Structure 1
Amino acid sequence: MRKTIVISFLALATSVYAQIESKYGLSAGLNISSFSGSDKPGGFSSKTGFQMGGFLWNYLSDKISIDAELYYAQMGAKFELTVPKIDDTKLTLRGKIKNDYIRFPILFDYHPTEEFSVALGPEIGVLLKNQVEYDQNINGSTKSNPKNVQKFDAGLKAKVQYIFVEHYLASVGYYWGMTKIYKYTQVNRQIQEPPKIYNSNLGISLGYVF
């Protein structure tokens, strides 16, 4: 009986595997990123950046695929903050927060037609570089590299994709970050909870499907 079950399972697995198709390609485009969350300070706005990478669509049927992507993304935000000075005057500080990631989404994709699809799934990111640029000299420099930025980021991504002229792909995706960007901080020997600030990002890209 066990042999019959095992043989039946292997036959079914082989049959399903034989029906699976795959497509792969490359894409590049524009990121419009910012921060969200209840602790986000006022004065933050969106920043434009660049993204590029590759993708693999594993078809489970003619309507459903699981999409794996790997891409580099420039994220972060612009800011304009007013801070007090020692002489009771105020300083307006402008700049950019630049957080560069390697991103890895796994999306469940529904294809109502061969050309059009909508996708939803989790995405994780690994921080490669973080930098803050100021429009004025702060502590002897116009740049800094904060140490309190989380190395990993995770959230949910939704995406719409359309293949035109056979192999060319246009896509629009939005990412909702669900992990806090910053770590715990220590102030006066007391540990403070990280602020509820998250990544958000709108990506617009063009690609080629092989």
Structure 2
Amino acid sequence: MKKILIIEDDTAIAEIERDFLEIDGYHTVIATDGIEGQRLALTGDFDLIILDLMLPGINGYEICRTIREKTDIPILMVTAKFEVADKVRGLGLGADDYIAKPFSPTELLARVKSNLAQYERLKNGGADRSREIQAGPIRMNKLTHRVYVHQQEVEFKNKEFELLLLFVSNPDIVFSKEQLYERIWGMDAIGDLKTVAVHINRLREKVEKDPQNPVYIQTIWGAGYRFRI
């Protein structure tokens, strides 16, 4: 049984999340403030964390940063904030996905299942995971999740690694935002496609010498993105 930590100060919302998740077979633990949530996140054996941003004690951004320094388990941020800057900040700190209030319980379940499945696939993805793949200046090890750009090791978060691996494995193929969202986040493009753009920008910051004028991860206007060697 997968164990999920819900860090949410609105008790009514937390209980709705708990009820729907437990009906679907998950074991849940609720923390209603940031201090307790961070303590549980760092000491409990959880498979995924649902994290609100606006919390008493310690806000969700700080909790996300602290969690990501210790573990790579999926973090699903839940918040009432709609500003793009808030999403960029949360994803930049290592959150795997982002869902804005109000949301339907069925969408939450879909996001949870998708992120758990993607994480399992990354960790237990089959025999070919031991092989390295290289394209241009980028070398990736699918078993260790290590990435080298121009012979220098660079750290990539879970979704960043998956996205880069998809590009490196499929040079010159154009992927639309919808296709990328479906392939990396594991669902039809029902989520916020800004998530894709944020992750593309993060990749460019890590692999391009000049992220404003990308050589490898190119935008094909009206179509999507492609990786050029």
**Normalising to structure 2: TM-score of the pair?**
0.23
Indicate the structure with greater strand content: 1
Larger Rg: 1
